[in-house]
C-alpha cells in the first residue's frame, strides 16, 4: 500500500528524508497485521526522535486506524504537559509534523519532574504499568460476542538521555517491553550514539527484533548532523500554558503567563473537602506542619486513589 507521505516529503518546516520514509513504511507494511508492531524509538538528544515518531504514527494510522503511543519523555512529552508518562490512543493523522498538540491520554501517571534521574525506579514502575495496561487492553482476545482481537500497534517515544543511568534505564525498558522494532537514530558524533546491534540483550539471548538504524534528518554539506537546539524550558512553559488555557473560551485574550495567572486567579475554583484528599509529596519529604504551605500556588497532579491502585494512582490531570 502506498503511503500518502512519500519519500523526501516535507510538512511545514519539517523535512522527512527518504531514509525515514522507508524505515516507517517497512515497520508498517513489511509485517503481518497480527500481532501488530511494537516500535521503540531511541537516540541521542535532539536527534529527531519525536519527529520520526510523529511520522511513524501517521504511517501506522493509515494501516491500522488507531495506534497506541507510550510517551516516556517526562521533559518534553508529545501529548501531555511535562512531568507525565502516558499512554494515548490516537485515531487521527497529524498533517503538520511541526505542530505539537495536547491530547487526553487513556492512562497516565504524574511523575512530577522533567527528568527520570530524580527517581529512576518509580519512573520505570510507571512505564511498566502503562505497558502492562496496553498489553491487557489491546493485545488480548476481545471477550465480547464479536470474536476477534482488539490489537493496536505501539510506538514508544523515549528521552534523549542515553548515557550513564539514562542508558541503564533504556536497557531496562527494552528488556521489559521486548519491541518488535527498535529504531535507533544516529548522529555524526558517534560518541553520543547508542551502541550498535541489540545492545540491551545478553550475549546468549536470541531475541527476535528488527533493528532499524537511521541518520538524523538534518545534515550539513559534510554529512554532519545538524541538531536543532530547542529551548526546553520555554517549550515546557508553553505546553503548561496551553493546558490551563483550556479552562477558558478560545476568544478570551490570554497570550502571556501573567495574563493566564490573572485569569486562573479570578476563575471560580472547584471545591472539595480537604478531609477527603490524600496529599503525597513526590521526591521530597515535607513536615506535616508545612503541608498546606507547600501546596500554596503550586501545580499539582490530580490522581484517583482506590484500593486496587493505592500505590499507583492513575492521574487525571493538573490542578
Q: Do strands 10-11 and 14-15 pair parallel, antiparallel, or not at all (unpaired)? A: antiparallel
Which span out of 16-20, 74-78, 170-174, 291-295 was modeled with the highest average pLDDT? 170-174
Burial class (CB in 10 A: 0-12, 13-18, 19+), 269: exposed
Q: Contact, 211 vs 198, CB < 8 A?
A: yes
**More confident: 287 or 306:** 287
Residue 149 belongs to a domain: yes
pLDDT tier, 1 (very low <50, low <70, confident <90, very high otherwise)? very low
| Predicted pLDDT of residue 27 | 94
pTM: 0.88
pLDDT at position 226 over 60: no
* CATH number, position 147: 3.40.50.300
Residue 23 belongs to a domain: yes
Burial class (CB in 10 A: 0-12, 13-18, 19+), 187: buried
pLDDT at position 34 over 50: yes
Same domain, yes or no: 197 and 103:
yes
Residue 3 belongs to a domain: no
| Predicted pLDDT of residue 110 | 95
Same domain, yes or no: 191 and 261:
no
**CB environment 125-150: b (16+ within 10 A), e (fewer):** ebbebbbebbeeebbeeeeeeeeeee
| Predicted pLDDT of residue 274 | 82
Bridge partner list, 302: 317
Q: Contact, 152 vs 64, CB < 8 A?
A: yes
Per-residue model confidence as pLDDT tens digits over 163-205:
999 999 999 999 999 999 999 999 988 889 999 999 998 754 5
How many separate domains does the chain show? Answer: 3
pLDDT at position 105 over 90: yes
Residue 223 belongs to a domain: no
Residue 220 belongs to a domain: no
Q: Do strands 84-90 and 107-110 pair parallel, antiparallel, or not at all (unpaired)? A: antiparallel
Residue 187 belongs to a domain: yes
Same domain, yes or no: 198 and 177:
yes
Q: Do strands 154-157 and 67-71 pair parallel, antiparallel, or not at all (unpaired)? A: parallel
Residue with cell 511523575: 111
| Predicted pLDDT of residue 146 | 45
Same domain, yes or no: 133 and 244:
no
Same domain, yes or no: 203 and 236:
no
pLDDT at position 22 over 90: yes
Q: Please name the residues in contact with 75: beta carbons below 8 A apart, sequence gap of 6 or more.
A: 82, 114, 115, 159, 232, 236
Between CA 77 and CA 109 the distance in angstroms is 12
Residue 156 belongs to a domain: yes
pLDDT at position 88 over 50: yes
| Predicted pLDDT of residue 202 | 76
Same domain, yes or no: 208 and 238:
no
Same domain, yes or no: 134 and 52:
yes
Between CA 302 and CA 4 the distance in angstroms is 40
Backbone angles phi, psi at 186, to 5 degrees: -100, 150
Domain that holds residue 112: 10-215
pLDDT at position 277 over 80: yes
Tell which phi-psi region holds residue 8, choosing left (phi > 0), alpha (psi between -120 and 50) or beta. left
Same domain, yes or no: 258 and 122:
no
**More confident: 181 or 277:** 181
Dihedral of alpha carbons 240, 242, 233, 260, sign: negative
Residue 5 belongs to a domain: no
Choice among 132-146, 237-251, 258-272, 284-298 with the minimum mean pLDDT: 132-146
| Predicted pLDDT of residue 168 | 97
Measured between its terminal Cα atoms, the distance across the chain in Å is 45
pLDDT at position 224 over 50: no
Same domain, yes or no: 126 and 109:
yes
pLDDT at position 6 over 80: no
| Predicted pLDDT of residue 2 | 44
| Predicted pLDDT of residue 7 | 52
pLDDT tier, 309 (very low <50, low <70, confident <90, very high otherwise)? low
Same domain, yes or no: 45 and 160:
yes
Same domain, yes or no: 253 and 281:
no
Same domain, yes or no: 104 and 176:
yes
Amino acid at each position: 500500500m502506498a503511503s500518502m507521505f512519500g519519500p523526501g516529503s516535507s510538512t511545514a518546516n519539517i523535512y522527512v528524508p527518504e531514509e525515514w520514509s522507508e524505515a516507517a513504511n517497512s515497520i508498517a507494511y513489511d509485517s503481518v497485521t497480527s500481532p501488530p508492531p511494537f516500535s521503540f524509538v531511541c537516540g541521542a538528544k535532539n536527534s529527531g526522535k519525536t519527529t520520526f515518531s510523529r511520522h511513524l504514527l501517521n504511517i501506522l494510522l493509515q494501516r491500522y486506524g488507531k495506534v497506541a503511543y507510550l510517551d516516556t519523555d517526562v521533559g518534553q512529552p508529545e501529548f501531555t504537559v511535562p512531568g507525565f508518562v502516558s499512554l494515548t490512543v490516537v485515531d487521527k493523522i497529524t498533517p503538520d509534523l511541526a505542530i505539537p498538540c495536547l491530547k487526553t491520554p487513556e492512562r497516565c501517571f504524574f511523575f512530577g519532574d522533567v527528568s527520570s534521574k530524580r527517581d529512576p525506579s518509580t519512573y520505570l514502575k510507571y512505564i511498566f504499568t502503562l505497558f502492562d495496561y496496553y498489553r491487557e487492553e489491546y493485545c488480548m482476545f476481545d471477550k465480547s460476542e464479536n470474536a476477534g482481537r482488539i490489537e493496536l500497534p505501539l510506538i514508544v517515544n523515549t528521552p534523549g538521555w542515553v548515557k550513564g543511568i539514562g542508558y541503564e534505564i533504556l536497557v531496562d525498558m527494552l528488556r521489559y517491553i521486548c519491541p518488535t522494532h527498535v529504531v535507533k537514530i544516529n548522529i555524526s558524533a558517534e560518541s553520543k550514539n547508542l551502541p550498535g546491534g541489540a545492545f540491551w540483550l545478553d550475549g546468549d539471548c536470541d531475541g527476535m527484533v528488527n533493528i532499524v538504524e537511521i541518520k538524523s534528518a538534518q545534515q550539513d554539506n559534510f554529512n554532519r548532523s545538524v541538531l536543532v537546539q530547542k529551548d526546553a524550558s520555554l517549550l515546557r512553559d508553553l505546553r503548561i500554558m496551553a493546558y490551563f488555557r483550556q479552562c477558558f473560551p478560545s476568544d478570551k485574550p490570554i497570550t502571556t503567563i501573567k495574563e493566564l495567572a490573572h485569569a486562573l486567579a479570578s476563575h471560580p475554583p472547584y471545591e472539595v473537602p480537604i478531609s477527603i484528599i490524600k496529599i503525597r509529596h513526590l521526591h521530597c519529604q515535607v513536615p506535616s506542619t508545612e503541608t498546606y504551605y507547600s501546596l500554596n500556588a503550586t501545580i499539582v497532579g490530580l490522581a484517583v486513589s482506590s484500593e486496587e491502585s493505592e500505590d499507583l494512582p492513575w492521574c487525571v490531570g493538573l490542578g
